[in-house]
Amino acid sequence: MEMEEHGGRRRPLVVLTSSPFHGHMSPTLQLATALHAKEFTIAIAHSKLNPPNPSNYPSAFTFLPLSDDLPAIDNSGGSTDFINKLNNNYFVMDEIVPNHHPLRYKDLPFATSPIEDWNQHAANFSRQAHPSAVILNTIKFLEHESLTRIHNHFQVPVFAVGPFHKIAPITSIGSHQEDISCLAWLDKQPPKSVVYISFGSVATTDVKVLTEMAWGLAKSNQRFLWAVRPGLVCGSEWLELLPDGFVEETKERGLILKWAPQKEVLAHFAVGGFWSHCGWNSCLESISSGVVMICQPFSVDQGVNARYVSYVWRIGLELERVERGEIERMVRRVMVDDEGKEMRVRVNDMKEMVKEAVGNKGSSQESLEGLVDFILSC
């Protein structure tokens, strides 16, 4: 942190950086906006790959392109170089990780790497990480025990300042063009009747999975809003790989688009379920809007998030077998069965707890004030 002159007084300068992934850059910019509102001067150091659009942010923000030559994100290879091997011991992957209940080995990030590789990655991180503080996009009531463990491990202040999108709402970072016409379509649907489907900005799948998803959704006979990102199936332009007859069969109750304004969609009265890859931003947005989830994790932290959503918080179900009959049952369990109604009660309670946390004297607001004081004391 440095100090800059501003209006006759010196304002602290905070420099933030992030990976180029949409799910990483967005919360970084939300935190930057929150700190800017607390009278910090902000600089964003970013990759030349998927850069933020400065016009979406206060003119006082400084954007600093890094001298990197990162290649385009290769969706066919996943989001990390680690996910390149298949673990041959399936029964071990279903076991609970020692000292990390309720997580199974298959829930861990990089679970498709051999367990020995994962243990080595964790050991390397533990040796290299020496933070002076930890800032987390979470809420105390969600992860109180984990926050305590992090504090005890690093012996530094831990600031749970989330959800960032509620602390400092910002516009889209511009990597995808949002189709806001879907909001008018949602206005015409009954309350809690639509399942929203989106797998974020990076996840990819294949034609077989896409086909099973489509027919399972059709057989469920539920209304849906499906964000099918171009490239969701590697090499596809957009909808050409959907099975023949699907669009025609579902046109009266479904809408397909390329990219939705997710926070607005989840907050809409017509949305009753969210079929998601369980990226952390998506989980927080769903909880904040009181929407139950169908979890279909792909990689990195998504398995951990899905396990907490389905097993700990019990506000969603994890789809572990992508098969049309199972998908049909899963969608109906969430959208119309008593099981879904019970989950909806729990997630609505959590929605109210989020409102309290980000409100005046709430835990997240107090953590933000504590973070400001900590930075100023450095």
Residues with Cβ within 8 Å of 80's Cβ and at least 6 positions away in sequence, in order, are: 110, 299, 300
Can you tell me which residue has the tokens 């007859």?
A: 245
- Residue 264's DSSP bridge partners are none
> Per-residue confidence of the chain (378 residues) as pLDDT tens digits?
454 544 545 678 888 888 777 788 889 899 999 999 998 989 888 887 778 888 888 888 888 887 665 555 555 444 444 333 333 444 767 778 777 788 887 887 765 556 666 667 667 666 666 889 999 999 999 999 999 999 998 899 999 999 999 998 665 555 578 899 999 999 999 999 999 999 988 888 888 999 999 999 999 999 999 999 888 887 777 888 898 999 999 999 999 999 999 999 999 999 999 999 999 999 999 999 999 999 999 887 899 999 999 999 999 999 989 999 999 999 999 999 999 999 999 999 999 999 999 999 999 999 999 999 999 998
Phi, psi dihedral angles at 350 (to 5 degrees): -65, -35
Is residue 167 within 8 Å of 251, Cβ to Cβ?
no
Which of 318, 319, 317, 314 has its CA nearest to residue 350?
314
∠34-272-163 over CA atoms, to 5°? 15
**CA-CA distances (angstroms) from residue 107 to 15, 199, 286?**
33, 17, 20
181-356: CATH topology is Rossmann fold (3.40.50)
Residues with Cβ within 8 Å of 205's Cβ and at least 6 positions away in sequence, in order, are: 199, 232, 233, 298
Residues carrying CATH 3.40.50.2000, the chain: 181-356
Query: What is the model's pTM?
Result: 0.79
